[in-house]
């Protein structure tokens, strides 16, 4: 089978490897589509992410869908939960499997991910992908799940106002999910014009550039600010903008991943407003809900796919994704 393996910064090679063996309780998946995430771009461009570094050649990719290749569910199209928790530690037993300290995550550390034609994965983590959803749609359910988990942490109430700072694919899905969750006002902040235009198209009421005067937007909210602000950019200025937009006593959800393992913000601003800050990691058990949002037309994922490449052109796909000239780049298997 064809496999794309990362050997170092920008050193991505497509080679032939054996089809993996399938342990008991697992299924062999024929991969159909893999979305390139911001964290994949960190691995590609920097050779790591946060405090994790590239130690051995790694197959990246954790946003993916495929078709079960054998067994009683053979032929079933599925979206794949990329995190394999231990299931027995106190954190898992408390219902926080996404926070499992020993979770094996696809395309992270020494755990090979999805940029290959076949992989074996625990059957319990394979979620049905109903028609008419495509493989690319299924790959988008993982980042949508991240957005849904952030929404949960934001405690959005009916009629609330929210801000989304950073309108990459996750931010664009989050602003749609926030509307579905009951928000009646959505402010989007994004430096790239094509992403600002996507935010307008997908329902943002106010769209701003970073550094733009926030006064008019706050005036529309009675001068106080939004109830919840979601930071999806991974930069300190984005965190500060989120804090400026939120009202006193409001809530901030930090879901962006910084280039370095450090986030800072003006303590006086956060303290004076008495803000609650929630840190968002990946997602909890949200795949069925994410699937429902898409099948019912409440979140548009298809229009966010701006480029598609075959596995043989995966290096070009990464260069396009790193350039951030589009929205979501997807690698599709032939």
Same domain, 204 and 258: yes
What pLDDT is stored for residue 218 in this prediction? 84
pLDDT at residue 70 greater than cutoff 90: no
Residue with more model confidence, 11 or 218 = 11
In a domain, 285, yes or no: no
Banded pLDDT at 49 (limits 50, 70, 90): confident
Is residue 125 domain-resident?
yes
Task: Tell me, yes or no, whether 86 and 122 share the same domain.
Answer: yes
Q: Give the chain's mean pLDDT.
A: 95
At 52 the pLDDT is: 85
Do you find a cis peptide bond into 287, omega within 30 degrees of 0?
A: no
Please tell me the predicted confidence (pLDDT) of residue 28: 97
**CA 223 distance to own-chain centroid:** 32
> Of all residues in the chain, what percent carry a pLDDT higher than 70?
100
CB distance 261 to 50 below 8 Å: yes
CA distance 215 to 225: 10
Residues 6, 123 share a domain: yes
**Mean of pLDDT values over 236-240:** 97
What are 249-290's pLDDT values in tens digits?
999 999 998 877 889 999 999 999 999 999 999 998 899 999
Return phi, psi of residue 61, to 5°. 110, 115
Residues 311 and 5: their CA atoms lie apart, in Å, by 11
Q: Are residues 154 and 243 located together in one domain of the fold?
A: yes
CA-CA distance, 37 to 81, in Å (whole number)? 14
Q: Residues 82, 50: contact at Cβ < 8 Å?
A: no
Same structural domain, 175 and 124: no
pTM equals 0.95
| In a shared domain, residues 120 and 179 | no
Q: What CATH number is attached to the domain comprising 99?
A: 3.90.180.10
| pLDDT confidence of residue 71 | 82
Strand partners, 230: 164, 253
Res 27: pLDDT:
97
> Are 113 and 202 found together in one domain?
no
Span 303-307, average pLDDT: 97
Helix (H, G, I), strand (E, B) or coil at 31: strand
Distance CA 16, CA 79 (A): 25
Mean pLDDT on 53-59:
93
The number of distinct structural domains making up the chain is 2
Find, among 207, 266, 263, the residue nearest to 235 by Cα.
Answer: 263
| Structural domain contains residue 289 | no
Predicted confidence band of residue 220 (pLDDT cuts 50, 70, 90): confident
The CATH number linked to 208 is 3.40.50.720
What is the rounded CA–CA span in Å between residue 187 and residue 216?
12
- Per-residue pLDDT of 107-138, as tens digits, reads 999 999 999 999 999 999 999 999 999 999 99
What is the band of 235 on the pLDDT scale with cuts at 50, 70, 90?
very high
Band of pLDDT at residue 329, cut at 50, 70 and 90: very high
Specify whether 172 is located in the same domain as 117. Answer: no
The parent domain of residue 227 ranges over 145-279
Burial class (CB in 10 A: 0-12, 13-18, 19+), 93: exposed
Instruction: State the Cα–Cα distance between residues 176 and 260, nearest whole angstrom.
Output: 29
94 and 149 fall within a common domain: no
Residues 189 and 240 in one domain: yes
Q: What is the 3-state secondary structure (H, E, C) of 250-293?
A: EEEEECCCCCCCCCCCCHHHHHHHCCEEEECCCCCCCHHHHHHH
Query: Which 3 state secondary structure label does DSSP give 65?
Result: strand
pLDDT score at 303: 97
Q: How far apart are CA 316 and CA 98, in angstroms?
A: 32
Q: Is residue 74 part of a domain?
A: yes
Per-residue pLDDT tens digits for 158-213: 999 999 999 999 999 999 999 999 999 999 999 999 999 999 999 999 999 998 99
Region 224-247: mean pLDDT is 96
Same domain, 88 and 173: no
Please tell me whether residues 192 and 262 are part of one structural domain.
yes
pLDDT at 168: 96
């Amino acid at each position: 089978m064809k496999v794309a393996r990362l050997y170092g910064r920008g050193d991505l090679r497509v080679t032939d490897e054996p089809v993996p063996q399938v342990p008991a309780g697992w299924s062999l998946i024929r991969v159909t589509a893999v979305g390139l995430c911001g964290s994949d771009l960190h691995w590609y461009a920097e050779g790591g992410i946060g405090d994790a570094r590239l130690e051995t050649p790694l197959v990246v990719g954790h946003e993916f869908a495929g078709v079960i290749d054998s067994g009683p569910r053979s032929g079933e199209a599925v979206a794949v939960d990329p995190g394999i928790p231990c299931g027995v530690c106190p954190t898992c037993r408390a219902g926080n499997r996404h926070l499992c300290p020993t979770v094996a995550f696809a395309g992270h550390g020494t755990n090979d991910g999805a940029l290959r034609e076949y992989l074996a994965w625990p059957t319990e983590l394979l979620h049905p992908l109903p028609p008419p959803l495509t493989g690319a749609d299924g790959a988008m359910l993982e980042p949508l799940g991240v957005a849904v988990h952030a929404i949960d942490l934001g405690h959005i109430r009916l009629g609330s106002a929210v801000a989304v700072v950073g309108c990459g694919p996750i931010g664009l899905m989050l602003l749609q999910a926030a509307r579905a969750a009951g928000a009646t006002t959505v402010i989007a902040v994004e430096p790239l014009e094509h992403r600002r235009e996507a935010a307008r198209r997908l329902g943002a009421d106010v769209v701003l550039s970073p550094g733009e005067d926030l006064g008019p937007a706050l005036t529309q909210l009675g001068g106080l600010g939004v109830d919840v602000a979601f930071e999806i950019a991974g930069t300190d200025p984005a965190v500060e903008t989120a804090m400026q937009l939120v009202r006193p006593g409001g809530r901030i959800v930090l879901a962006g991943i910084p280039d370095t393992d450090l986030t800072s913000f003006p303590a006086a601003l956060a303290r004076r407003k008495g803000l609650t800050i929630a840190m968002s990691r990946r997602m909890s058990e949200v795949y069925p809900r994410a699937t429902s949002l898409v099948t019912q037309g409440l979140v548009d994922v298809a229009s966010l796919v701006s480029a598609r490449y075959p596995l043989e052109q995966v290096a070009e796909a990464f260069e396009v994704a790193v350039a951030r000239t589009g929205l979501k780049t997807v690698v599709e298997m032939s």
